[in-house]
Structure 1
Amino acid sequence: MTVVNRYFDAFNAGDTDAMLDCLTDDVAHHVNEGQIRTGKALFADFCAHMTRCYAENLTDMVVFVNADQTRAAAEYVVNGTYLQTDAGLPQARNQTYKLPAGSFFDLKDGKIARVTTYYNLADWTAQVA
């Protein structure tokens, strides 16, 4: 099992500590909308925020890793519930959503050094509006 699979297993289990164990100390987190966050502390803050606002489970996971295990990508479906209003987004009323998404990774010494996540924000907004 790759570190990427362990990362997503931890995500689906809601285990932020296990996700953090998969990351380098200086991980670069490129979110779909917003600034790059660097380091585990900011990644943990992001996870805490997401847990407050969203309940998500990822399905239909396909993970790709290059031959020298320095890069990886994953494609999946996000199945979620919008729990608490997130600043600048529509009001949360426990709306459910389902959308395709993907993540891209740099891998270093068996850990994730970069996480870049993509999903279609307009699609998500239309589903929860």
Structure 2
Amino acid sequence: MNETIDLIRRYYEAFNRGDWTGMLDLLDEHVAHDVNQGGRETGRQRFAAFLERMSASYSEQVKNLVIMANETGNRAAAEYMMHGEYKATDEGLPLAQGQSYALPGGAFFDVAGGKITRVSNYYNLEDWLAQVRRIDVD
């Protein structure tokens, strides 16, 4: 259990540093990634492409992180506040104008062999949209 909590903590520490290589090193080669309100993507390469796409439009930091794991350490959950800046328009979303946002989020993880084998991210998209639209009046 403690090893899993440490693994998830290192995952978010790498995220906060923008260390995509460090994050990817913690993932199983065939990691399943459930994108919030989207589909499932499989594989470390797909996850890397997702990180690059996201970093082009968003600058984010996870704060107030709480991590929980089951006794065997094969399942974990994280709850946090995502603080970010919407810096470049993401396809199909409102115009980016440098809007800041703070959004509660969570993720669920499967872990095996010391690697993350599944990441399922959740946040309230409507809350995020309301925050970034607050100056999108043109």
Smaller-chain TM-score range? over 0.9
1:79 aligns with 2:83: yes
1:126 partner SS: helix
Corresponding residue number in structure 2 for 1:123: 127
1:102 aligns with 2:109: no
What is the CA deviation profile of residues 8-34 of structure 1, one whole-angstrom value per residue up to 9, with x for unaligned ones?
Answer: 000000000000010000000001022
Larger radius of gyration: 2
The structure 2 residue matched to 1:17, chosen from 21, 24, 42, is 21
Corresponding residue number in structure 1 for 2:64: 60
1:2 deviates by: 1.6
Q: TM-score, normalised by structure 2?
A: 0.92
Structure 1's unaligned 5+ residue stretches are none
Cα-Cα RMSD: 0.7
Equivalenced residues, count: 129
1:70 deviates by: 0.2
Aligned AA (2:116): I
1:92 deviates by: 0.1
Question: What is the CA–CA distance in structure 2 between the aligned matches of 1:20 and 1:99, rounded to whole Å?
Answer: 24
The structure 1 residue matched to 2:95, chosen from 79, 91, 107, is 91
Question: What is the CA–CA distance in structure 2 between the aligned matches of 1:75 and 1:91, rounded to whole Å?
Answer: 28
What is the CA deviation profile of residues 15-65 of structure 1, one whole-angstrom value per residue up to 9, with x for unaligned ones?
Answer: 000000100000000010222110000000000001000000000000001
1:28 aligns with 2:9: no
1:42 aligns with 2:46: yes
Q: TM-score, normalised by structure 1?
A: 0.98
Q: What percentage of residue pairs aligned between the two structures are identical?
A: 49
Question: What is the CA–CA distance in structure 1 between the aligned matches of 2:119 and 2:38, rounded to whole Å?
Answer: 13
Question: What is the CA–CA distance in structure 2 between the aligned matches of 1:20 and 1:108, rounded to whole Å?
Answer: 15
1:90 partner SS: coil
